[in-house]
């Protein structure tokens, strides 16, 4: 077997111990062993910079936003709107884009799927009977089930862009599915289950060319990849704070203003209206019209701090560090007899998902946990994909900025020994 | 206690590698499936019940080591038993894993080797999957045998 490929000297590695020290949760034993946290695709941990920003807001600036004339309300409003500005810049949004805060990616994708399939005030829904919705076969259930419901609600047909046997998506397969009736194309920027990074730039452009609105689930990309929304043929992009070193229960839907305006609001109440009489209401402009109720202001502050944390490391350094770790893990796992790594050759991914003959992912996961190693086992909310690939449930190790090559070695040793126990 | 001694005892791994009473059961009178939605593991349990006695039991499907070993040992324990005794054992085993009952080796026999699963809450579902299928199977006479079942009960 070949020697492990040489590792690049990413600048992030130079101060890695100091960087790691910014994540207090990592400094604890689990089952008597140092914690090796490799479940970052489920949630990343928060650095002190994010924890401090949230604490600063909650202890100094907390008040309800908008319409208050007192000082704290103004500070909280400023913090919330500053977070919006920071995050728009973070994902490369342009002047014709807007960002709506949500509780996460699932919430954002539901807002799009429901908002396009429900009418409003006598106005027909964007998706109607006989229309078509195309969803890729790589999707998390959060970017599939809302479209199943949208199709059912509107009388549209749902079509799936199936990946090939290696789990890759292809332009010619999309070309065969696109018709003049296609209203929506929904795609992930990186599969949470296989780690596959599809050529989403070209696929989105192809779908827009055919007249479809395009939806990108960027939950597994924003934590390391520099998104350039203004250069993408993307109408709606969803992402979560807790997969980019930010708080849980916070996320965003960012998109072309003209596309966001086509969404029927789903949450009616305070802050999303311009004027109200006892009989009817006139809705506010974007982004307020899609943000009914008191938002998670502290979450928005934390999410913006997380974006600043990522930018302080630099996307390039982050991506090269994660690519090295993934290559190391995929290389080592493939050397273990009977182990198959999904999407082994994909690039710009921080997820390595694998199956081992004769060793079930739940057993591997439990045996790794006994060594302090946290991975995820199962279907990863992408059951149709794993059924299609014929792998069944997998074990998934997912990487973040604080992970090290030593930790990858511990994973490889742990998997080898788990398989020895189980076979 | 190390995890090998606690959860993956030799007897558990031995049943995982060579599950007993595994396969289809021709002439089954009762059958049902259990699914673990987390991992998609699926176990089907088939019974031949004659005059309230389980004369034959087989299972099929795939699962983790804990699931396969638990179901395999279950089939050994209930084969030849009265249906009421099988139900009682199911309730008792479930109670041991969920911490509401003491693990009594004299009663549980080999199944005592799975008592440690109680200390791994996220694995209890794995150990109980086959038992859920058994519980449903006891209440699910196959249509083709419904008439004869009616005659015996």
Q: Is the pLDDT of residue B90 over 70?
A: yes
φ, ψ dihedrals at A402, nearest 5°: -85, -10
C-beta of residue A184 within 8 angstroms of C-beta of residue A213? yes
**Cβ of residue A363 closer than 8 Å to a chain B Cβ:** yes
Q: What pLDDT score was predicted for residue A11?
A: 52
The Cα of B133 is separated from the nearest Cα of chain A by a number of Å equal to: 20
Which chain B residue lies closest to A377 (C-alpha atoms)?
B39
Which among B17, B38, B64 is the nearest to A363, CB-wise? B64
Query: With an 8 Å Cβ cutoff, are A362 and B2 in contact?
Result: no
Q: What is the dihedral of CA A272, A274, A277, A281, to 10 degrees?
A: -60
pLDDT in tens, A218-271: 999 999 999 999 999 999 999 999 999 999 999 999 999 999 999 999 999 988
Which chain B residue lies closest to A379 (C-alpha atoms)?
B39
C-beta of residue A196 within 8 angstroms of C-beta of residue A167? yes
> What does the alpha-carbon distance between residue A86 and residue A89 come to, in Å, rounded to a whole number?
5
Query: With an 8 Å Cβ cutoff, are A362 and B120 in contact?
Result: no
A213-217: strand order across its sheet = A97-102, A251-256, A236-240, A213-217, A182-188, A132-136, A157-161
Give the mean pLDDT of A274-303: 95
Q: What pLDDT score was predicted for residue B139?
A: 95
Query: With an 8 Å Cβ cutoff, are A378 and B38 in contact?
Result: yes
Query: With an 8 Å Cβ cutoff, are A393 and B2 in contact?
Result: no
Q: What pLDDT score was predicted for residue B1?
A: 58
**Contacting residues of B for A377, CB less than 8 Å apart:** 39
In sequence order, what are the residues at sequence separation of 6 or more whose Cβ sits closer than 8 angstroms to the Cβ of residue A152?
A: none
Q: What pLDDT score was predicted for residue B43?
A: 97
pLDDT in tens, A29-73: 999 999 999 999 999 999 999 999 999 999 999 999 988 899 999
**Cβ of residue A92 closer than 8 Å to a chain B Cβ:** no
pLDDT in tens, A320-338: 999 999 999 999 999 999 9
Give the mean pLDDT of A11-29: 87
Which one of B2, B64, B119 would you mutate to disrupt binding with A, by most A Cβ within 10 Å of its Cβ?
B64
Q: Is the pLDDT of residue A356 over 70?
A: yes
Query: With an 8 Å Cβ cutoff, are A422 and B65 in contact?
Result: yes
Query: With an 8 Å Cβ cutoff, are A363 and B4 in contact?
Result: no
Which chain B residue lies closest to A417 (C-alpha atoms)?
B4
Confidence bin at A122 (pLDDT 50/70/90): confident
Query: With an 8 Å Cβ cutoff, are B2 and A392 in contact?
Result: no
A381 is catalytic: yes
Give the mean pLDDT of A293-299: 97
Radius of gyration in angstroms for the set of CA atoms belonging to chain B, rounded to a whole number: 15
Confidence bin at A311 (pLDDT 50/70/90): very high
**Cβ of residue A262 closer than 8 Å to a chain B Cβ:** no
Which chain A residue lies closest to B64 (C-alpha atoms)?
A360
The Cα of B45 is separated from the nearest Cα of chain A by a number of Å equal to: 20
Q: Is the pLDDT of residue B145 over 80?
A: no
Residues of B with CB under 8 A from a CB of A: 2-4, 7-8, 13, 16-17, 38-41, 62-67, 120, 123, 126
Q: What pLDDT score was predicted for residue A335?
A: 97
Partners of A254 in the beta sheet? A99, A237
Confidence bin at A6 (pLDDT 50/70/90): low
Q: What pLDDT score was predicted for residue B134?
A: 98
Confidence bin at B147 (pLDDT 50/70/90): very low
Q: What pLDDT score was predicted for residue A15?
A: 84
pLDDT in tens, A373-389: 999 999 999 999 999 99
Count CA within 13 A, CB hemisphere, residue A157: 10
% of chain A surpassing 90 pLDDT: 92
Q: What pLDDT score was predicted for residue A7?
A: 55
Which among A362, A378, A421 is the nearest to B123, CB-wise? A362
CATH 3.60.15.10 matches B3-142: no
Query: With an 8 Å Cβ cutoff, are B64 and A361 in contact?
Result: yes
How far is residue B49 from each of residues A176, A422, B84, B135, measured CA to CA in Å?
54, 34, 12, 13
Q: Is the pLDDT of residue A400 over 90?
A: yes
**Contacting residues of A for B7, CB less than 8 Å apart:** 366
How many of the other CB atoms lie within 10 Å of CB of A121? Answer: 7
Give the mean pLDDT of B35-57: 94
How far is residue A84 from each of residues A70, A108, A242, A337, A352, measured CA to CA in Å?
21, 15, 16, 49, 32
pLDDT in tens, A154-178: 999 999 999 999 999 999 999 999 9
Query: With an 8 Å Cβ cutoff, are B4 and A421 in contact?
Result: yes
**Contacting residues of A for B8, CB less than 8 Å apart:** 363, 367, 421-422
Q: Is the pLDDT of residue B152 over 70?
A: no
Query: pTM for the whole thing?
Result: 0.94
Give the mean pLDDT of B101-123: 93
Domains of chain A: 11-44+314-422 (3.90.1150.10), 51-311 (3.40.640.10)
> What does the alpha-carbon distance between residue B143 and residue B151 come to, in Å, rounded to a whole number?
14
Q: Is the pLDDT of residue A347 over 90?
A: no
Q: What is the mean pLDDT of chain A?
A: 95
Q: What pLDDT score was predicted for residue B40?
A: 81
Which among A362, A383, A386 is the nearest to B126, CB-wise? A362
**Cβ of residue A30 closer than 8 Å to a chain B Cβ:** no
How far is residue A254 from each of residues A4, A102, A138, A197, A228, measured CA to CA in Å?
40, 10, 21, 20, 12
Query: With an 8 Å Cβ cutoff, are A361 and B39 in contact?
Result: yes
Q: Is the pLDDT of residue A5 over 60?
A: no
Using DSSP, how many helices (H) and how many strands (E) does chain B show? Answer: 7, 3
Confidence bin at B148 (pLDDT 50/70/90): very low
Q: What pLDDT score was predicted for residue B150?
A: 41
Q: Which of A182, A190, A234, A381 does the annotation list as catalytic?
A: A381
Q: Is the pLDDT of residue A120 over 90?
A: no
- What secondary structure does DSSP assign to B77-100, as a single string? HHTT-BHHHHHHHHHHHHHHHTTS
Q: Is the pLDDT of residue B68 over 50?
A: yes
Which chain A residue lies closest to B15 (C-alpha atoms)?
A422
Q: What pLDDT score was predicted for residue B149?
A: 45
């Amino acid at each position: 077997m070949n020697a492990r490929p040489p590792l690049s000297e990413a600048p992030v590695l130079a101060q890695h111990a100091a960087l790691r020290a910014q994540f207090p949760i990592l400094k604890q034993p689990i089952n008597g062993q140092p914690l090796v946290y490799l479940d970052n695709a489920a949630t990343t941990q928060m650095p002190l910079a994010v924890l401090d920003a949230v604490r600063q807001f909650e202890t100094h600036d907390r008040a309800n936003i908008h319409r208050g004339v007192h000082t704290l309300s103004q500070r909280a409003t400023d913090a919330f709107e500053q977070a919006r500005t920071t995050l728009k810049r973070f994902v490369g949004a342009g002047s014709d884009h807007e960002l709506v805060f949500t509780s996460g990616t699932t919430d954002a994708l539901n807002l799009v799927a429901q908002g396009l399939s429900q009418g409003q005030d006598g106005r027909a829904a964007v998706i109607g009977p006989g229309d078509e919705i195309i969803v890729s076969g790589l999707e998390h259930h959060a970017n599939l089930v809302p479209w199943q419901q949208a199709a059912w609600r509107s009388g549209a047909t749902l079509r799936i862009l199936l990946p090939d046997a290696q789990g890759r998506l292809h332009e010619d397969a999309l070309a065969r599915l696109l018709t003049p009736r296609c209203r929506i194309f929904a795609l992930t920027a990186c599969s949470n289950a296989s780690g596959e990074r599809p050529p989403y730039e070209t696929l989105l452009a192809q779908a827009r060319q055919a007249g479809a609105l395009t939806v990108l689930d960027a939950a597994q990309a924003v934590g390391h990849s520099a998104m350039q929304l203004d250069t993408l043929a993307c109408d709606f992009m969803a992402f979560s704070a807790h997969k980019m070193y930010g708080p849980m229960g916070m996320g965003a839907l960012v998109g072309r203003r003209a596309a966001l305006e086509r969404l029927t609001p789903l949450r009616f109440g305070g802050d999303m209206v311009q004027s109200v009489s006892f009989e009817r209401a006139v809705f506010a402009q974007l982004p307020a019209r899609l943000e009914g109720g008191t938002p998670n202001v502290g979450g928005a502050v934390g999410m913006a701090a997380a974006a600043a944390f990522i930018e302080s490391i630099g996307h390039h350094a982050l991506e090269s560090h994660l690519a090295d770790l993934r290559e190391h893990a995929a290389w080592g796992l493939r050397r273990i007899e009977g182990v198959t790594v999904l999407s082994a050759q994909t690039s710009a991914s921080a997820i390595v998902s694998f199956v081992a003959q004769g060793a079930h992912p739940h057993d591997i996961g439990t045996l790794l946990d006994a060594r302090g190693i946290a991975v995820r086992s199962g279907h990863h909310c992408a059951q149709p994909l794993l059924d299609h690939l014929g792998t069944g449930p997998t074990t998934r190790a997912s990487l973040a900025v604080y992970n090290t090559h030593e930790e990858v070695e511990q994973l490889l040793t742990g998997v080898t020994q788990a398989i020895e126990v189980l076979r | 206690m190390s995890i090998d001694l606690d959860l993956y005892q030799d007897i558990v791994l031995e049943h995982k590698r060579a599950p007993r009473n595994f396969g289809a059961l021709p002439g089954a009178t009762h059958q049902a499936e259990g699914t673990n939605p987390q991992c998609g593991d699926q176990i089907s349990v088939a019974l031949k019940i004659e005059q309230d006695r389980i004369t034959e039991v087989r299972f099929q499907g795939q699962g983790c080591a804990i699931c396969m070993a638990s179901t395999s040992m279950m089939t050994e324990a209930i084969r030849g038993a009265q249906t009421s005794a099988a139900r009682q054992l199911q309730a008792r085993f479930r109670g041991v894993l969920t911490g509401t009952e003491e693990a009594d080796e004299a009663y549980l026999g080999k199944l005592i080797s799975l008592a440690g699963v109680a200390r791994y809450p996220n694995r209890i579902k794995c150990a109980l999957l086959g038992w859920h299928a058994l519980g449903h199977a006891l209440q699910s006479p196959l249509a083709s045998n419904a008439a004869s079942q009616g005659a015996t009960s």
